[in-house]
Amino acid sequence: DAGVTQSPTHLIKTRGQQVTLRCSPKSGHDTVSWYQQALGQGPQFIFQYYEEEERQRGNFPDRFSGHQFPNYSSELNVNALLLGDSALYLCASSANTGVETQYFGPGTRLLVL
Partner 1 sequence: AQKITQTQPGMFVQEKEAVTLDCTYDTSDPSYGLFWYKQPSSGEMIFLIYQGSYDQQNATEGRYSLNFQKARKSANLVISASQLGDSAMYFCAMREGPRRDDKIIFGKGTRLHILP
Residues that bind partner 1 (CB under 8 A): 31, 33, 35, 40-45, 48, 50, 55-56, 58, 88, 90, 92, 94, 96, 99-107, 109
Closer Cβ to partner 1, 15 or 55, answer by number: 55
User: What is the DSSP secondary structure assignment for residue 25, as one 8-state letter?
Assistant: P
User: What is the DSSP secondary structure assignment for residue 97, as one 8-state letter?
Assistant: S
Closer Cβ to partner 1, 44 or 73, answer by number: 44
The CB-of-42 to partner 1 minimum distance in angstroms stands at 3
The CB-of-59 to partner 1 minimum distance in angstroms stands at 10
The CB-of-61 to partner 1 minimum distance in angstroms stands at 17
Closest CA to 13 of 63, 93, 85: 85
State the burial class of residue 3 (Cβ atoms within 10 Å of its Cβ: 0-12, 13-18, 19+): middle
Whole-number Å distance between alpha carbons of 21 and 91 = 9
